[in-house]
Structure 1
Amino acid sequence: MDDSESFRDILNKALSMIDSILAQENRALHERPLIASIEFVSLCIEKVRYKDQDEFEPGEFADYLDSDWFKAIFLKTQSWYSSRYGEAINTSRDSGIEGVTVIYNTPFLLKIPTTTVEAGTPGETVWICFHDALQPEEDVLGWIVNGPNLSAASKSDGIKLRRLSVEVANRLRSIKIHLMEITETDARVAEFRREIIPHLERAAQQIVRGKATDYKRAHWDIQMACEFAFKLLSQQRSGSFQQTHDLFFLYDHMPGDALPLKRTHLSKVPSWERMAEWRYGGGPIVSLDETFRCYRAALQIIDETLAAAKRRFRFGKAKFHTRKPPWMSKPDNSD
Structure 2
Amino acid sequence: MKFDLEELVKVGSHWLELFDSNFAMNNLPLNKRPLQSAIWFVKDGIEKLPFNDSKENFLEKEWFTALVIVIREWYQERYGTAHFEVVRETFSGIVLMYRTPIKIEVPVAVTKVHVEGETCWITFPDSIHESENLKSFFPTCPNFDALPKGERIKIEKRVDLIVSRTRSINLALQAAADLPDEAEKMAAGVWWHIEKAVADILSLDTAVAAVGCWELHLAVEKSFKVFLRQNESESRGHNLIKLSTASGKFGLNVTKSVLAKLPEEHRAIKLRYGEADIEIFEAVENYEAALQLVYEITGKLKRTYSINNAAFLLKKPPWVGLGT
TM-score range, shorter chain: 0.7 to 0.9
Structure 2 partner of 1:156: 150
Equivalent residues of 1:18, 1:39 under 8 A apart? no
Equivalent pair of 1:67/1:327 in contact (CA under 8 Å) = no
Structure 1 stretches of 5 or more lacking a match? 331-335
Aligned-CA RMSD value:
3.5
Deviation at 1:255, TM superposition (A): 9.2
Cross-structure match for 2:20 = 16
Aligned pair 1:112/2:102, yes or no? no
State the shift of 1:9 in Å.
6.4
The superposition leaves residues 52-86 of structure 1 with CA deviations (integer Å, 9 ceiling, x where unpaired) of 478x9x8xxxx774367976875675455334323
2:273 corresponds to which residue?
280
SS in 1 for 2:104: strand
Change (3 A) 1:265 1:255: closer
Count of residue correspondences: 315
CA contact (8 A) 1:115 1:129 kept: yes
Which residue of structure 1 lines up, in the alignment, with residue 242 of structure 2?
249
Q: Percent identity?
A: 25
| Shift, 1:166, TM fit | 1.6
What stretches of structure 2 of length at least 5 have no aligned partner?
none
**Does structure 1 residue 320 correspond to structure 2 residue 298?**
no
The yes-or-no answer on 1:133 pairing with 2:134 is no
For 1:333, the equivalent position in structure 2 comes to none
CA displacement, residues 270-323 of structure 1 (integer Å, 9 cap, x when unaligned): 21211111222223x433443222211111111121122233432211112122
Distance 1:329 1:142 in 2: 24
Q: In the alignment, residue 278 of structure 2 is paired with which amino acid?
A: V
CA distance in 2 between counterparts of 1:151 and 1:300 reads 29
TM value normalised by structure 2: 0.81
Match of 1:299, SS state, is: helix
TM-score of the superposed pair, with normalisation by structure 1:
0.78
Decide whether aligned partners of structure 1 residues 39 and 266 sit closer, same or farther in structure 2, where only a CA change above 3 A counts. farther
Indicate the residue corresponding to 2:209 in structure 1: 215
Determine if contact 1:237/1:255 at 8 Å carries over to the other structure.
no
Equivalent residue letter for 1:165: V
Offset at residue 96 of structure 1 (A): 0.9
The alpha-carbon distance between structure 1 residues 124 and 147, as it changes in their structure 2 partners (threshold 3 A), is closer
Residues 181-260 of structure 1: pairs in structure 2 closer than 5 A: 181-183=175-177, 185-238=179-232, 241-254=234-247, 257-259=250-252
> Which residue matches 2:91?
97
Alignment correspondent of 2:282: 290
